[in-house]
């Protein structure tokens, strides 16, 4: 059976639309917030990955959210290969108009309307009768259709909604002009069999259902996000809503990389096509981890460090004879490469730029110069420089674009004989300043030196250290979380010296805090 869709033309049964909500549902989870330039970087990388719909945010949620949706519509939304750019809106006039305004510049746009349909949500949260929910559904979709041909409507808490009411409201949404109907498992309560029943019910009972794309959106509270998504595809869903690394509210959303690779690996059971370039999956996962400061767990499917590592002798023996003995997909198919030795300390700028291009970076001249200088420094200190080192270094450099406070140098006296002492130089608004401090350990001394140079009231609420590659000369990747007046920011840093990496992470977080302050209280900018 085929469907005529305003954004995708003729869709046949074999196509599954990949709707990514990393920048909306994913970003909503605590600790995962991103600033504007980080969101644009993610949006560009998601576009290159090949997602069909990119939910850029919830335009009415805050001025920052509006700005993000608008900026993505004005940048990524202008590309020839742009995905459909979507903004979430509740079923009300103000929300819909705000979403429409933010999306205006996008060549391809979707307004995504949500309203709850379960008895519990309608009664307690919305305080609306079922008939009022139907009326708001119809009114908001009718308004949205005046601003976009592509309108998605979501029945929040669909899996706990009364099936008869769900069918009534879905029918009303289709009549009002919705082109995609999404039935979310908002609280992660459903089991795969429930999904099959719900989709079959709606498909069998709702007139006009054959004209729209049915969509599934699943949370992971019982660890069922991916399983429920695959069950929904089998039951007739043609769109899946996902996030990179499965980030999202509470236990997260169904993970894009797991769903895409399940479809690709099990074509015998799930004969569906999509446009995802699977070799980009690892890159997206790492980019998100670098931006948010949260690595995936080592055993995470597809993108975890151990996903293709074979430890047991019997497995290693099998894999050496034929990888297919224990590998159901190749590491290369999702972007893992043997950690190749890259460049030496005598490599020139052209070779470095070439390497960056093959790793998927297209950096400007200033960033190239700074990254190249740091690469030379790294090659002097580290015996072998791997691709992962270059990625960590460049991500670190790109994050630092336009920062007011910049790391210059650190001289540290530490050990068991005398109290640690940090002598630090920072560039603040273009002027180099120095500060000295002692502390309860070298990290504490360094953070106090930052405080001495740039006084602030933020509290440190998280500090973590990991390694970019193996070996004692590996670069450290550090994360620092700062909190000030209810605003929380994470910063990252990478360096072979753990304390320098820590200073860089702290300074990164501090700069993010300054941007947040600037948005809310411009007069508080002076340090
Ligand atoms: O989980 C949910 O119900 C949602 C909707 C906005 C689609 O995120
Ligand atoms: Zn959700």
* Alpha helices in 310-404, H assignment, sequence order: 313-321, 349-358, 365-381, 387-399
Distance CA 488, CA 511 (A): 12
* CATH number where 132 lies: 3.20.20.70
Would residue 262 count as lying in a domain?
yes
Q: What is the pLDDT of residues 415-448, one digit of tens each?
A: 888 889 999 999 999 999 999 999 999 999 999 9
Boundary residue ending a domain (292, 312, 327): 292
Q: Tally the residues of the chain.
A: 527
Residue with CA closest to ligand 1 atom 2: 186
Same domain, yes or no: 459 and 436? yes
Write out the residue range of the structural domain in which residue 384 sits. Answer: 341-398
pLDDT (0 to 100) of residue 101: 98
pLDDT (0 to 100) of residue 295: 84
Distance CA 323, CA 464 (A): 35
**Which segments of 190-319 are extended strands (E)?**
213-218, 239-242
Give 180 Cα–ligand 1 centroid separation in angstroms.
14
Cα 162 to Cα 114, 137, 251, 284: the distances in Å are 17, 17, 25, 38
C-alpha torsion sign, points 169, 170, 172, 177: positive
Same domain, yes or no: 33 and 162? yes
Same domain, yes or no: 380 and 426? no
pLDDT (0 to 100) of residue 261: 98
Q: To the nearest whole number, what is the mean pLDDT of the chain?
A: 91
Number of domains in the chain: 3
Boundary residue ending a domain (398, 428, 447): 398
pLDDT (0 to 100) of residue 526: 31
pLDDT (0 to 100) of residue 401: 67
* CATH number where 435 lies: 3.30.160.270
Same domain, yes or no: 380 and 414? no
Would residue 379 count as lying in a domain?
yes
Would residue 527 count as lying in a domain?
no
pLDDT (0 to 100) of residue 456: 93
Would residue 335 count as lying in a domain?
no
User: Does residue 156 line the site of ligand 1, with CB under 6 A?
Assistant: yes
Same domain, yes or no: 71 and 198? yes
Confirm if 96 and 140 have CB atoms less than 8 A apart: yes
- If DSSP codes are grouped into helix, strand and coil, which group holds residue 409? strand
Q: How far apart are the first and last CA of the chain?
A: 63
Same domain, yes or no: 266 and 139? yes
154, 160, 218, 228, best to mutate for ligand 1 pocket (most atoms within 8 Å of CB): 154
Same domain, yes or no: 119 and 140? yes
Confirm if 40 and 76 have CB atoms less than 8 A apart: yes
Query: Which parts of the chain have pLDDT scores under 50?
Result: 522-527
CA atoms within 13 A on the CB side of 242: 26
User: Does residue 259 line the site of ligand 1, with CB under 6 A?
Assistant: no
Boundary residue ending a domain (368, 398, 428): 398
Give 245 Cα–ligand 2 centroid separation in angstroms.
15
Residue with CA closest to ligand 1 atom 4: 186
User: Does residue 442 line the site of ligand 1, with CB under 6 A?
Assistant: no
pLDDT (0 to 100) of residue 29: 82
Same domain, yes or no: 88 and 179? yes
Same domain, yes or no: 228 and 354? no
Would residue 7 count as lying in a domain?
no
Same domain, yes or no: 65 and 130? yes
pLDDT (0 to 100) of residue 527: 31
Would residue 310 count as lying in a domain?
no
Q: What is the pLDDT of residues 175-216, one digit of tens each?
A: 999 999 999 999 999 999 999 999 999 999 999 999 999 999
**E strand or H helix that includes residue 58:** none
Give 253 Cα–ligand 1 centroid separation in angstroms.
10
pLDDT (0 to 100) of residue 28: 84
What are residue 405's phi and psi, to 5 degrees?
Answer: -110, 125
Would residue 309 count as lying in a domain?
no
Same domain, yes or no: 102 and 196? yes
Confirm if 20 and 242 have CB atoms less than 8 A apart: yes
Distance CA 168, CA 208 (A): 12
Residue with CA closest to ligand 1 atom 5: 156
User: Does residue 218 line the site of ligand 1, with CB under 6 A?
Assistant: no
pLDDT (0 to 100) of residue 473: 79
Neighbours of 57 (CB within 10 A): 28
Confirm if 409 and 425 have CB atoms less than 8 A apart: yes
Same domain, yes or no: 360 and 505? no
Would residue 80 count as lying in a domain?
yes
């Amino acid at each position: 059976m085929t469907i005529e869709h305003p954004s995708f033309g003729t869709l046949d049964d074999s196509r599954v639309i990949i709707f990514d909500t990393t920048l909306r549902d994913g970003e909503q989870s605590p600790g995962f917030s991103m600033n504007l330039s980080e969101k644009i970087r993610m949006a560009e990388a998601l576009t290159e990955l090949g997602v069909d719909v990119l939910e850029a945010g919830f335009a009415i949620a805050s001025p920052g959210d509006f700005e993000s949706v608008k900026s993505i519509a004005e940048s990524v939304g202008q590309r020839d290969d742009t995905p459909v750019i979507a903004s979430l809106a509740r079923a009300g006039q103000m929300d819909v108009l705000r979403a429409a305004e933010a999306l205006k510049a996008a060549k391809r746009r979707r307004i995504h309307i949500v309203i709850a349909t379960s008895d519990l949500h309608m009664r307690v949260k919305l305080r609306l009768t079922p008939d009022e929910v139907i009326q708001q559904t119809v009114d908001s979709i009718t308004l949205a259709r005046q601003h976009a041909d592509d309108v998605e409507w979501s029945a929040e808490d669909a899996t706990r909604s009364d099936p008869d009411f769900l069918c009534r409201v879905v029918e009303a949404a289709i009549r009002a002009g919705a082109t995609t109907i999404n039935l979310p498992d908002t609280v992660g309560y459903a089991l795969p069999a429930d999904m099959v029943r719900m989709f079959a019910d709606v498909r069998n009972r709702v007139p006009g259902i054959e004209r729209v794309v049915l969509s599934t959106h699943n949370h992971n509270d019982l660890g069922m996000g991916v399983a429920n998504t695959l069950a929904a595809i089998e039951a007739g869903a043609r769109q899946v809503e996902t996030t990179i690394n499965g980030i999202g509210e509470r236990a997260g959303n169904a993970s894009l990389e797991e769903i895409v690779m399940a479809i690709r690996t099990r074509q015998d059971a799930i004969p569906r096509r999509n446009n995802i370039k699977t070799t980009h999956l690892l890159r997206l996962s790492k980019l998100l981890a670098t931006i948010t400061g949260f690595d995936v767990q080592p055993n995470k499917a597809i993108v975890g460090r151990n996903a293709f590592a074979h430890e047991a002798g019997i497995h290693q023996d099998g894999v050496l004879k034929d990888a297919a003995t224990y590998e159901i997909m190749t590491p290369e198919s999702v972007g893992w490469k043997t950690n190749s030795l890259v460049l030496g300390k005598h490599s020139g700028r052209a070779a470095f730029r070439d390497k960056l291009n093959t790793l998927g970076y297209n950096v400007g001249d200033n960033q190239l110069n700074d990254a190249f200088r740091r690469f030379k420094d790294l090659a002097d200190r580290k015996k072998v420089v791997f691709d992962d080192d270059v990625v960590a270094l460049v991500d670190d450099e790109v994050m630092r674009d336009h920062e007011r406070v910049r790391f210059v140098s650190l001289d540290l006296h530490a050990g068991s004989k005398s109290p640690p002492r940090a002598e630090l130089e920072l560039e603040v608004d273009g002027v180099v300043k120095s500060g000295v401090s002692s502390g309860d350990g070298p990290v504490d001394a360094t953070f106090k030196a930052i405080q001495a140079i740039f006084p602030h009231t933020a509290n440190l609420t998280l500090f973590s250290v990991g390694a970019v590659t193996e070996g004692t000369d590996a670069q450290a990747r550090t994360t620092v979380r700062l909190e000030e007046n209810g605003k929380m920011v994470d910063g990252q840093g990478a360096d072979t010296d753990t304390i320098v990496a820590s200073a860089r992470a702290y300074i990164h977080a501090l700069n993010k805090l300054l941007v947040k302050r600037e948005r809310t209280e411009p007069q508080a900018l002076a340090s």
